[in-house]
Structure 1
């Protein structure tokens, strides 16, 4: 059970760079290099909303509430890759817990 790391260039004029860490215990960490922002979320706090060529990744305060803690825009392809990483991490963790 290892964390997965990816680097994405965020769409927009600023061309910000995000380092993303997907932790199989159900956590996501995002570091925006140029802003020195560290963003954290549990998988169940995340939502993906696609709009045109971009997808907005939103972290809500608690699952089911409307209060947004943070959000970033991703290219659709990057968002799909991240969603697959999260899904794989959840499956891996579930298998590990079943085996214990």
Structure 2
């Protein structure tokens, strides 16, 4: 059970890079590298909202809550890849827990 790392170029023309770590125990670490902004969220706090050519990754205080803790824009393809990585991490963790 290993964490998956990815780097994405943020849309918007600034050339900022997003470093993402998907941790199979249910956490996502995100850093906007050029600004040294770091964020942490549980998978349940995350949602993806498609908005034209980009997708917003949104972290809320509670599942389905109104208060947004942080959000970043991703290219649609990058958001799909990240969503798949989160899904695979959840499946891997569930399988591990069943085996114990």
Same fold (TM over 0.5): yes
Query: Stretches of 4+ moved more than 6 A in 1?
Result: none
**Partner residue of 1:74?**
74
TM-score (norm 1): 0.98
Report whether the alignment pairs 1:15 with 2:15.
Answer: yes
The correspondence of residues 73-92 of structure 1 with structure 2, limited to 5 A, is 73-92=73-92
The correspondence of residues 51-70 of structure 1 with structure 2, limited to 5 A, is 51-70=51-70
TM-score (norm 2): 0.98
**Partner residue of 2:47?**
47
Cα distance in 2 for residues equivalent to 1:34 and 1:60: 24
**Partner residue of 2:95?**
95
5+ residue gaps, structure 1: none
Query: Residues 20-54 of structure 1, C-alpha deviation per residue, up to 9 Å, x if partnerless?
Result: 00000000000111110001000000000001110
5+ residue gaps, structure 2: none
- Aligned residue pairs total 100
SS at match of 1:12: coil
SS at match of 1:98: helix
The two structures, once aligned, show a CA RMSD in angstroms of 0.5
Residue 63 of structure 1: CA displacement?
Answer: 0.7
